[in-house]
C-alpha cells in the first residue's frame, strides 16, 4: 500500500511538473519578446537622438525661430529650442548706460515702433519698450539667466570693438565661455578676443569676395560666414583648405538649405529652425 501511495505521489508530482512546464515556457518566451521589443525601442530612440544631435550641429537659429515669432524674444528662442536647436543667435546693442541688450537693429523702430537708437536710451527707457508681440527687449544677461548651459549662444558684436570689453565682462560673470561662438563684421574685436578666449570659436561676417580672401588669411578666424550669394563650391573649398568652417546666412528656403548640405557647408543661419533640422536629418550624409 505504501509503495502504491509513493508511486501515486510521484505520478502526481510529475504530472504537476509537466502541466507547469508549458506555462513557464510561455512566460519565458513572453519575457524574451518584451526584452527584444525594449531593446528595439531603446535602439530606435537612441538612433533618433543621435540623428537629431547631428542635425543640430549645422543649424544656427537666426535671432531664434524668427520666421515664426518676433525676433530676439523669449518666444522665438523657446520655440527654436523646442524644435531641437542647439545654437541660438543674439545681436548686441548697447544702452546709454552701457548695458548689453539684444537687437539686430541699432534702432528700436523695427520691433517696437519707437524710432530711437538704443545708444540714446537709458536702461529704464529700453525696459519700458514692448515688441509688437508685447514682449520686453531682452538684455543679454536675461538670456543667460533663462537658458544657462542648456544651449549654445552665437553672439554678434553689432558695434564691433566698442563692445569687446563689455562682452568680456559679461562672459566672465556668467562663466559661459565654452558655450559661446562670438561673431563680428570686423577683424579687430576677434583678434582681441583671441588673446582672452583662445578656445572660443570666432566667426567673421563677410559680404564680398575680397572680404572672404582677407578672412581666410586671418589665423584668429575659425568660422567664415558669408552672404548666401557667395555660397558656392569654390568658396567652400577655399575655406576648408584653410582648415576653417564655412557658414552662410540666411538660408530659409528648402532649395537653399539642400544646396548648403550638398556643398558641404558646415553651418548656416536660418529663420526656420524646424525646416532646417528636418532637412538636415533627411539629406546630410
pLDDT tens for the chain, 285 residues long, are 445 545 544 554 454 444 455 666 776 667 766 666 556 556 544 445 566 679 899 999 999 999 999 999 999 999 999 999 999 999 999 999 999 999 999 999 999 999 999 999 999 999 999 999 999 999 999 999 999 999 999 999 999 999 999 999 999 999 999 999 999 999 999 999 999 999 999 999 999 999 999 999 999 999 999 999 999 999 999 999 999 999 999 999 999 999 999 999 999 999 999 999 999 999 998
Q: Looking at the 3D structure of the chain, how many domains does it have?
A: 2
pTM of the model: 0.84
Q: Quick one: which of 211, 205, 214, 227 has its CA closest to 160?
A: 205
Residues 25 and 118 placed together within one structural domain of the fold = no
167 with 51, same domain?
Answer: no
Using the 3D structure, point to which of 24, 40, 56 is the last residue of a domain.
56
160/78 same-domain check: yes
d(CA 98, CA 140): 12
Instruction: Provide φ and ψ at 40, rounded to 5°.
Output: -65, -45
Residues 75 and 29 in one domain: no
Of 56, 87, 102, which marks where a domain is finished? 56
User: Residue 45 corresponds to which cell in the numbers above?
Assistant: 530612440
- The alpha-helical segments, DSSP class H, found in the chain are 2-56, 74-83, 109-112, 123-127, 140-147, 164-174, 187-196, 209-217, 233-241, 254-263, 273-283
Q: In angstroms, rounded to a whole number, what is the distance separating the alpha carbons of residues 68 and 145?
A: 23
Of the candidates 117, 71, 77, 111, the residue with the CA atom closest to the CA atom of residue 94 = 117
DSSP one-letter code for 137: P
* Three-state DSSP state, 158: coil
User: Which is nearest to 64 in space by CA: 50, 47, 76, 48?
Assistant: 76
Same domain, 20 and 153: no
Q: Please give the residue range of the domain that contains residue 183.
A: 58-283
Whether 65 and 180 map to the same domain: the answer is yes
Residues 78, 22, single domain; the answer is no
Do 19 and 137 have their domain in common?
no
Give the contacts of 38 (CB within 8 A, at least 6 positions apart).
none
Amino acid at each position: 500500500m505504501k509503495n502504491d501511495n509513493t508511486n501515486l505521489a510521484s505520478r502526481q508530482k510529475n504530472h504537476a511538473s509537466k502541466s507547469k512546464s508549458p506555462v513557464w515556457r510561455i512566460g519565458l518566451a513572453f519575457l524574451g519578446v518584451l526584452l527584444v521589443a525594449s531593446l528595439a525601442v531603446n535602439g530606435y530612440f537612441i538612433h533618433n537622438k543621435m540623428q537629431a544631435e547631428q542635425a543640430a550641429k549645422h543649424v544656427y537659429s537666426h535671432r531664434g525661430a524668427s520666421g515664426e515669432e518676433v525676433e530676439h524674444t523669449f518666444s522665438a528662442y523657446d520655440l527654436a529650442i523646442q524644435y531641437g536647436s542647439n545654437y541660438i543667435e543674439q545681436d548686441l546693442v548697447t544702452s546709454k548706460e552701457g548695458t548689453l541688450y539684444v537687437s539686430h537693429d541699432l534702432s528700436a523702430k523695427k520691433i517696437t515702433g519707437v524710432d530711437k537708437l538704443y545708444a540714446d536710451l537709458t536702461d529704464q527707457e529700453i525696459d519700458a519698450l514692448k515688441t509688437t508681440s508685447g514682449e520686453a527687449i531682452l538684455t543679454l544677461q536675461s538670456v543667460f539667466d533663462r537658458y544657462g548651459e542648456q544651449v549654445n549662444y552665437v553672439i554678434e558684436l553689432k558695434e564691433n570693438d566698442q563692445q569687446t570689453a563689455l562682452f568680456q565682462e559679461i562672459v566672465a560673470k556668467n562663466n559661459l565661455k565654452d558655450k559661446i561662438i562670438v561673431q563680428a563684421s570686423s577683424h579687430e574685436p576677434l583678434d582681441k578676443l583671441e588673446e582672452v578666449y583662445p578656445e572660443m570659436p570666432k566667426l567673421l561676417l563677410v559680404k564680398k569676395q575680397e572680404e572672404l580672401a582677407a578672412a581666410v588669411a586671418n589665423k584668429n578666424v575659425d568660422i567664415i560666414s558669408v552672404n548666401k550669394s557667395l555660397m558656392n563650391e569654390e568658396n567652400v573649398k577655399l575655406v576648408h583648405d584653410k582648415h576653417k568652417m564655412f557658414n552662410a546666412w540666411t538660408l530659409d528656403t528648402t532649395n537653399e538649405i539642400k544646396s548648403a548640405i550638398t556643398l558641404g557647408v558646415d553651418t548656416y543661419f536660418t529663420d526656420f529652425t524646424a525646416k532646417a533640422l528636418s532637412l538636415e536629418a533627411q539629406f546630410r550624409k
